[in-house]
Amino acid sequence: MTCRREPFFSRLDGIFPLYSYRLWYKNLLFAWKTEGERSLSPLFAAAVHKALCQMYGGGKVPCLVPVPPRPGKIRRKGWDQVDELCRLLTVMFGYRVERLLVRMSGAQQKKKSLRERHVLRGVYGPSARFTRMKRRDIIPQEVVLVDDLITSGATVCECADILKRGLVEKVRVLSLFIVD
């Protein structure tokens, strides 16, 4: 919890977790993410849609930016849960999703210490699409970064840094779960 007392999250314009990562919620995420229980994806998409409607009061929601998976994950497992969630949000509810980030490192964050996570650099980078959008001066002013789980916050903070360096003014984070 010490990471929550430091100004680490000051780079973000808001963090909106839907559920606390404890009790049966841990089992739910494990079934979806690790055991590939894809039938949970529409349930999570509906929950995210409801949260976005509440966040923006039924008004226009900015584009969604998924946190990208490790290189090779989709090839190994056949799918990525955050990518599938964002695809469903597009198909079911009409949200605009922009893949503005890429993950360049295959190292798993959960195997790193809190200190190693907080000095995270170079794991993520701008996608080719983001670079093209920058050149054409069509960067969205606000985005909602979508992830499944926030543990230390290092991932979402690095992704927000990249987006803000790319001239995105506001980066809010919506995650399904947060470790508290």
Is the pLDDT reported for residue 45 higher than 80? yes
DSSP string computed for 132-163: HHHHTT---SEEEEEEEEESSSHHHHHHHHHH
Q: Are 8 and 153 in contact (CB under 8 A)?
A: yes
Nearest to 131 by CA among 165, 156, 180: 165
* Residue 121: per-residue pLDDT: 65
60-to-27, 54, 66, 113 alpha-carbon distances in Å? 33, 11, 18, 39
Whether the per-residue pLDDT at 133 is higher than 90: the answer is yes
pLDDT band per the 50, 70, 90 thresholds, residue 27: very high
137 vs 119: CA distance, rounded Å: 30
Q: Is the pLDDT of residue 6 over 70?
A: no
Q: Which residue has the higher pLDDT, 39 or 115?
A: 39
Confidence check: pLDDT of 126 > 60? yes
Mean local confidence (pLDDT), 144-150: 97
